[in-house]
Structure 1
């Protein structure tokens, strides 16, 4: 089977890139924009950087901000109703993964009404039509949802997250402006940055990895190791480097998948509302340890990209351990906790069962038993 790459039609990068929004709206002939964002971004004036542009250029818009950090089926359903009510014809998603995932689901349902039951979008949904024209403006440097064909929705009733994978959901335009990320607090910067690192490492070792995505993932690992600490310190060069790094990681993993880390992280978020990036970061060294015997020489290149010296003189065992140690050190340096005290021993079996049913798991480089997944979760207690 042929390898495939799906990317945005257009993306803009760099400080001030949001000013390109008006030209894209005008070129598309859109008359009413549905701005999909979250309440905190509205509260702290981040969304206003976009809506002020629209207002200044006499472009009608409606703001929908009823989105939770782990967006729910209800968030999507309410958004679909709000979109229809205001008779919008395009979406601008402003925010992190939560806003963009919600916008993707809304956009898909509007153009594919037979999938109005949000649960029907799980997995590889056979939608026929591309989503509503969407411009994605990330405010975090981690999820890369602006360039992926994936989105994740929380099913509160069933206490689970489900992954949707659909080339029809990718935003038409991505606006990667590091100035939109400058208001991120330290903890969120660290968590989303480690999410990006997890994307890059899992994408590099996944079963479907190939030469083109390897190029993206290794460059992303290198940039994240160079810039995440400075981004957490809110240094402009760090913000700029992470804005690019997370997008590059998204160009890769969106097209080849992820692995057991993300499958387990989705489960932690669904059961305990653990922030996704924190869950990924806590699990990353554990998942890397589990996978290391099934990765050939790839951990050597991960270690090299992380800045480890003299990897070519190391044994296979040494460079694998060095790659894991470098990831642990970065995680510690940016303040990610090593343990999750909300996990209960009696929950481990259902956590493992849900992780093995997650859409990200099949991409893992090796199979895992339920007992092995339980053991990995137990390392967080």
Structure 2
């Protein structure tokens, strides 16, 4: 028996924030956001206005940092316990939405510790106190539709991807006006994160016919729109916002692979944005996994109109197309080119590899991997050398 889980409702399109009116009847909403971009763009005010117009009292929790910490999570949970909302609304990029998901757990279950929930599918039943609404501002993480939340332990420099269907939001609002405000670099990084989500979902061990269809459509739409989105095309930005959501629906159910395992661990240590790490890693990971699933990568290549006479040729064509896409997005292909010194690599490579093997995403990778192989994949991504093992 398998399971496929999505939010109950997804509202999408220009001005979709207005659909918060569906929350009429609730009493209190706590709104979570990151920096000032949602306030500057007027989107935070729109959220508050809709909620106030239907009689919902609000309280704002702002300033959630990129790559939110365990400490921020517990601070937010404490604020929720004081305010007692019956709706949680998170607006912004992946960080504030991920943080609010984790805060939700400790709001409803204050007796739990982070250690109690960091392993996959260990989060207790939620929705005893509140439901969750997610409004993404970026086109990449898809946390608005997923069962994941990435939280960083800065004492150990480890990113933990919390994974449980309980933290899948109840309502996702994809207001396509919001991503029009994204800067170019963020558009590139989040777009490559979305592409990695879709490709990893298509080859992951928990894939299904449901996730396959969503992943392939997402891959095609991302290839069609990401470069134009990078250069600010309005229609492309809108298409990317929907495509990344489809990729999220796919990977939330099919799960991911070692590109994300390594991205979680290298991002925290090398201080490189998550999407950029995925862009660097994806070609090397495909080379490693092709030993067991070249036929799946070949399907993706054919779907994109790439050419080749064999599965191996088609897989190589897919890898080359990803590198070409990175170049068009001004993303340097290796960790070395992104400013990571060999000294830092040598100092942390063994620990990164060991932690990446333990990452929850590794279990659903199509090819099994050990610590030494993980380190070799990392080194290949650092130097840009082929993965031949």
TM-score (norm: length of structure 1): 0.94
Residues 310-332 of structure 1: CA deviation (Å, up to 9, x unaligned) = 45xx1122111011111111121
2:314 alignment partner, one of 294, 319, 322: 319
Does the 8 Å contact 2:87/2:131 carry over to 1?
A: yes
Match of 1:224 in 2: 222
Does the 8 Å contact 1:141/1:196 carry over to 2?
A: yes
* 1:331-350 matched pairs, under 5 angstroms: 331-340=326-335, 341-342=339-340, 343-350=344-351
Match of 1:36 in 2: 32
Does the 8 Å contact 2:176/2:241 carry over to 1?
A: yes
Does the 8 Å contact 1:345/1:378 carry over to 2?
A: no
Deviation at 1:40, TM superposition (A): 3.1
* 1:117-266 matched pairs, under 5 angstroms: 117-123=113-119, 124-130=121-127, 132-266=130-264
Equivalent residues, number: 373
In structure 1, what is the Cα distance between the partners aligned to 2:301 and 2:266? 27
* 1:263-282 matched pairs, under 5 angstroms: 263-282=261-280
Residues 251-282 of structure 1: CA deviation (Å, up to 9, x unaligned) = 11101210100000000122133211111111
Match of 1:372 in 2: 373
Match of 1:60 in 2: 57
Could you say what secondary structure the match of 1:203 adopts?
Answer: helix
In structure 2, what is the Cα distance between the partners aligned to 1:151 and 1:140? 15
In structure 2, what is the Cα distance between the partners aligned to 1:63 and 1:119? 28
In structure 1, what is the Cα distance between the partners aligned to 2:193 and 2:303? 17
Match of 2:5 in 1: 6
Residues 1:40 and 1:304: Cα distance change in structure 2 (over 3 Å): farther
Does the 8 Å contact 2:28/2:56 carry over to 1?
A: yes
Does the 8 Å contact 2:39/2:45 carry over to 1?
A: no
In structure 2, what is the Cα distance between the partners aligned to 1:59 and 1:254? 31
* 1:23-102 matched pairs, under 5 angstroms: 24-26=22-24, 29-42=25-38, 44-45=40-41, 46-55=43-52, 59-102=56-99
Gaps of 5+ in 2: 384-389
Deviation at 1:43, TM superposition (A): 5.2
Deviation at 1:194, TM superposition (A): 0.5
In structure 1, what is the Cα distance between the partners aligned to 2:303 and 2:69? 36
In structure 2, what is the Cα distance between the partners aligned to 1:329 and 1:44? 35
Deviation at 1:246, TM superposition (A): 0.7
In structure 1, what is the Cα distance between the partners aligned to 2:225 and 2:305? 12
Runs (4 or more) in structure 1 with deviation over 3 Å come to: 52-59
Deviation at 1:86, TM superposition (A): 2.4
Gaps of 5+ in 1: none
Deviation at 1:42, TM superposition (A): 4.4
Deviation at 1:180, TM superposition (A): 1.2
TM-score (norm: length of structure 2): 0.92
